[in-house]
């Protein structure tokens, strides 16, 4: 099939039939191509006869039996080319009133309509009808009609293939063509009105505000001009102070704002003048507008598979900007995150992008800038106090900060703070202000919020694994990531930069060497591996545990982060085998890897509610890193099995629940794993008619996971075959083949 040269199908000098178009075009192309929705194939209706007149005709002709009579529900065209002639609004209303019985603008297995709707066929010019049956096809119809309506169509010619499409292909296509676009942001004049307005701004005068680092005066000039040209925005453009301290960040909480990210110089096509344009990035979910830390790495894995290399590259460049100007890859680019980072993945992200672009001009400079940023971050953030534990030589999530984290919901800490307000005979707000500014000293609260900030920096907010102790923990996840930094930097300096890597003054940390060589990074990696083995490895359990640097003892929470050591290459082959034998059976569930074991989480109830990073929930990052790590050590079957389970769970929920793709899943639930009963709810559920974004790292895990499973598994996923059924079929086929050889 040939694709149109333009979305409108113009400029070809001839009328096009729908055969000239790709059935699986993205929605914008599909629904804005005018010619596609004209019914070229409809001609005069074939004459039909009553049964009696037909019988008499055949009697006269001497035929003994009746011919096959086409009924009104029959269609002469082959199934793959069947198309429907649909009036969008009436059909949408009819579909919803009949099938969406719970009125949530979705058609799921929980709706109790008849699950069948007749559509008029295009080949018969709407005379014949064909039944659309089942939740999956009807929910796809709802999605397609919602999109058609959104693009202003009154009537469409709809290909049946879009309704009964293999669900693996459909979800993969939606991620590539729609979800990434729905999650892509850029910060500049085109978006500043929305992006700079913070939904977590609890102040009396919430307004769009952006903070610019001193090292980017061109951005300050750009946004100042935007504010002057569009006074109705009330855009507040502020320079950041030269030195960022916890006190400054605390005081900025009265005026929270967006932090600037990288921009590129372009020529305005309207004026011909040079201007700035924001470098794009992908956000975790549809409600976000700022750049997030480790979400971005996971998303980049899917972007690279989908050949969206420029977007992944742009995200690395945004990270380098953050490290250069803010000192770290931030939790997210809002002012109240300035003291807090997230799990570091920059070296692997940059190297994966470089591998795709290394033959392009400027690729080596891209890698050099990325390496400079990673080295600066390594020195100034992860191996500097307070995050470095000088006794073990291991690192901790331990961000600086003062007072109550301001980005939480207004009442988030009421139960913690109210007793202190009563103790000091103050109102709640009076106490918070006095405590934040040091007028009242409460060491117990200081300790509580130090650990709370550390949990947020870890990315695992929240879990009983970290409650009340996070800032004291040398975790296996963080130290695996830093081991990966050390080995990545050593290898890149040695293999790409000929073992001499010069650090210019604007990237140099105080006291650091201007010339980096691979040997020193090799030694750092060796020291960290020895420390991980000494403090974090547990031979008896066959897994890694966190180490409490305050109590000087190993913890006992069984976490899926043990497999991060495989991803980073920390483990010996013997340790890897022990994890597969001992740890994996404890952490594997119906839908993939659990975040942690039920025993480690402990009993839950009204006084001890569930946490979202505990049993029974599974998260995309845990799956991705485990698959990659298992493959690295040759445990291909285990990697494929875990990937299959995760992909099956996502696909089944996608089919049964109107195309849903969410932030996290209950991996113990076969029927509705997207139902998550933990704090913060589940991002990705709030849509009407059709999902537009999915969720960033789950999208990536799906695309990436399809590279892990084999072709036979992918076919089985498309037929929604549970893993046990699939394995039984494989075993039966193997036995049959063996028996035929005997």
pLDDT at 49: 45
Class of residue 45 by CB neighbours under 10 A (exposed 0-12, middle 13-18, buried 19+)? exposed
Q: What is the mean pLDDT of residues 730-738?
A: 92
Is the pLDDT score of 1 beyond 50?
no
pLDDT at 21: 76
CA-to-CA dists, residue 320 to 175, 241, 327, 378, 465, angstroms: 27, 19, 10, 13, 31
pLDDT at 44: 45
pLDDT at 57: 52
Confidence of residue 588 (pLDDT cuts 50, 70, 90): very high
Q: What are phi and psi of 271, to 5 degrees?
A: -100, -20
Average per-residue pLDDT in the chain? 92
CA-to-CA dists, residue 738 to 734, 741, 742, angstroms: 6, 5, 7
Q: What is the mean pLDDT of residues 278-303?
A: 97
Q: What is the mean pLDDT of residues 117-121?
A: 97
pLDDT at 538: 98
Q: What is the mean pLDDT of residues 426-449?
A: 95
Which member of 100, 614, 663, 693 is catalytic? 663
pLDDT at 47: 45
Q: What gap in Å lies between CA 294 and CA 581, rounded to an integer?
A: 29
In the chain, % of residues over pLDDT 90? 86
Q: What gap in Å lies between CA 145 and CA 143, rounded to an integer?
A: 6
Confidence of residue 56 (pLDDT cuts 50, 70, 90): low
The pair of structure tokens assigned to 611 is 């946490």
pLDDT at 646: 98
Long-range CB pairs of 7-12 (<8 Å, 24+ gap) are 7/32, 7/33, 8/32, 8/33, 8/34, 9/33, 9/34, 9/35, 9/36
Q: What gap in Å lies between CA 293 and CA 728, rounded to an integer?
A: 41
pLDDT at 507: 96
CB 85 within 8 Å of CB 157: yes
Is the pLDDT score of 12 beyond 50?
no
CA-to-CA dists, residue 505 to 85, 261, 404, 493, 498, angstroms: 67, 22, 36, 18, 21
Which member of 144, 165, 188, 461 is catalytic? 461
Confidence of residue 329 (pLDDT cuts 50, 70, 90): very high
Tokens 């750009």 belong to residue: 222
CB 543 within 8 Å of CB 558: yes
pLDDT at 77: 42
Q: What gap in Å lies between CA 647 and CA 661, rounded to an integer?
A: 11
Is the pLDDT score of 16 beyond 70?
no
Confidence of residue 48 (pLDDT cuts 50, 70, 90): very low
Q: What gap in Å lies between CA 264 and CA 241, rounded to an integer?
A: 23
Confidence of residue 62 (pLDDT cuts 50, 70, 90): low
3-state DSSP call for residue 331? coil
Lowest mean pLDDT among 86-100, 125-139, 165-179, 411-425: 411-425
Is the pLDDT score of 65 beyond 90?
no
Confidence of residue 66 (pLDDT cuts 50, 70, 90): very low
Class of residue 11 by CB neighbours under 10 A (exposed 0-12, middle 13-18, buried 19+)? exposed
pLDDT at 42: 59
Residue pLDDT, tens place only, 161-175: 999 999 999 999 999
pLDDT at 222: 98
> CA 354: distance to chain centroid?
22
Residue pLDDT, tens place only, 633-658: 999 999 999 999 999 999 999 999 99
Q: Is 461 a catalytic residue?
A: yes
Q: Is 66 a catalytic residue?
A: no
Helix (H) or strand (E) holding 282, with range, is strand 281-282
Q: What is the mean pLDDT of residues 9-24?
A: 56
Q: What gap in Å lies between CA 697 and CA 379, rounded to an integer?
A: 28
Residue pLDDT, tens place only, 211-235: 999 999 999 999 999 999 999 999 9
Confidence of residue 7 (pLDDT cuts 50, 70, 90): very low
CB 149 within 8 Å of CB 26: no
């Amino acid at each position: 099939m040939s694709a149109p040269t333009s979305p409108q199908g113009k400029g070809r000098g001839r009328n096009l039939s729908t055969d000239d178009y790709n059935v699986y075009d993205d929605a914008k192309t599909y629904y804005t191509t005018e010619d596609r929705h004209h019914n070229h194939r409809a001609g005069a209706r074939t004459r039909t006869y009553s049964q009696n007149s037909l019988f008499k005709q055949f009697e006269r002709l001497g035929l003994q039996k009746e011919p096959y009579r086409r009924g009104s529900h029959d269609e002469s065209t082959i199934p793959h080319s069947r198309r429907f002639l649909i009036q969008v609004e009436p059909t949408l209303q009819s579909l919803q009133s009949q099938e969406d019985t719970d009125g949530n603008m979705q058609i799921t297995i929980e709706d109790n309509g008849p699950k069948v709707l007749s559509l008029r066929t295009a080949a018969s010019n709407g005379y014949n009808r064909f039944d659309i049956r089942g939740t999956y096809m009807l929910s796809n119809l709802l999605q397609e009609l919602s999109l058609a309506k959104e693009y202003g169509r009154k009537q469409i010619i709809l290909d049946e293939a879009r309704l009964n499409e293999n669900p693996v292909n459909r979800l993969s296509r939606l991620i590539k063509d729609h979800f990434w676009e729905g999650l892509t942001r850029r910060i500049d004049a085109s978006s500043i009105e929305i992006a700079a307005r913070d939904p977590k701004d609890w102040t009396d005068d919430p307004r769009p505000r952006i903070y610019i680092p001193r090292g980017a005066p061109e951005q300050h000039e750009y946004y100042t001009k935007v504010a002057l040209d569009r006074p109705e925005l009330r855009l507040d453009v502020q320079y950041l102070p030269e030195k960022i301290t916890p006190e400054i960040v605390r005081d900025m909480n009265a005026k929270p704002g967006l932090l600037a990210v990288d921009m590129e110089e372009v020529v305005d096509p309207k004026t011909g003048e040079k201007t700035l344009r924001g470098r794009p990035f992908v956000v975790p979910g549809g409600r976000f507008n700022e750049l997030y830390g480790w979400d971005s790495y996971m998303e980049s894995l899917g972007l690279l598979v989908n050949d969206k290399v420029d977007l992944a590259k742009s995200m690395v460049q945004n990270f380098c900007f953050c490290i250069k100007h803010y000192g770290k890859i931030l939790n997210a680019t809002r002012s109240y995150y300035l003291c807090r980072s997230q799990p570091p993945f920059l070296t692997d992200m940059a190297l994966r992008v470089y591998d795709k672009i290394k033959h392009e001009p400027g690729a080596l400079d891209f890698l050099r800038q990325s390496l400079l940023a990673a080295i600066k971050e390594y020195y100034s953030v992860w191996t500097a106090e307070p995050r470095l534990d000088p006794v073990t030589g291991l690192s901790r999530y331990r961000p600086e900060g003062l007072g109550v984290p301001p980005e939480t919901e207004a009442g988030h800490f009421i139960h913690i703070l109210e007793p202190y307000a009563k103790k000091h005979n103050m109102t709640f707000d009076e106490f918070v202000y006095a405590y934040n500014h040091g007028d009242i000293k409460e060491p117990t609260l200081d300790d509580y919020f130090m650990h709370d900030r550390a949990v947020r920096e870890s990315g695992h907010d929240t879990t009983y694994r970290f409650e009340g102790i996070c800032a004291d923990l040398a975790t296996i996840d963080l130290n695996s990531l830093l081991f990966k930094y050390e080995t990545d930097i050593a290898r890149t300096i040695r293999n790409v930069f000929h073992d001499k890597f010069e650090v210019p003054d604007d990237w140099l940390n105080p006291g650091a060497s201007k010339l980096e060589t691979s040997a020193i990074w090799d030694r750092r990696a060796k020291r960290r591996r020895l420390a991980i083995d000494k403090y974090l490895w547990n031979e008896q359990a066959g897994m890694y545990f966190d180490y409490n640097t305050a109590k000087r003892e190993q913890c006992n929470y069984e976490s899926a982060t043990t497999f991060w050591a495989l991803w980073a290459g920390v483990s010996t082959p013997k340790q890897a085998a022990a994890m597969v034998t001992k740890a994996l059976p404890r952490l594997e569930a119906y839908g993939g890897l659990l975040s942690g074991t039920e025993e480690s989480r402990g009993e839950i109830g009204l006084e001890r509610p569930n946490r979202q990073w505990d049993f029974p929930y599974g998260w995309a990052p845990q799956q991705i890193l485990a698959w990659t790590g298992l493959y690295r050590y040759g445990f291909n079957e285990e990697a494929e099995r875990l990937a299959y389970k995760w992909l099956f769970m996502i696909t089944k929920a996608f089919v049964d629940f109107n195309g849903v793709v969410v932030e996290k899943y209950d991996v113990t639930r076969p029927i509705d794993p997207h139902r998550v009963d933990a704090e913060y709810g589940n991002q990705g559920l709030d849509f009407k008619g059709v999902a537009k974004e999915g969720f960033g790292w789950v999208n990536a895990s799906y695309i990436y996971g399809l590279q892990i499973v084999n072709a036979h598994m992918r076919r089985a996923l498309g037929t929604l075959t549970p893993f046990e059924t699939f394995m039984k079929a494989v075993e039966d086929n193997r036995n049959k083949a063996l028996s035929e050889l005997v």
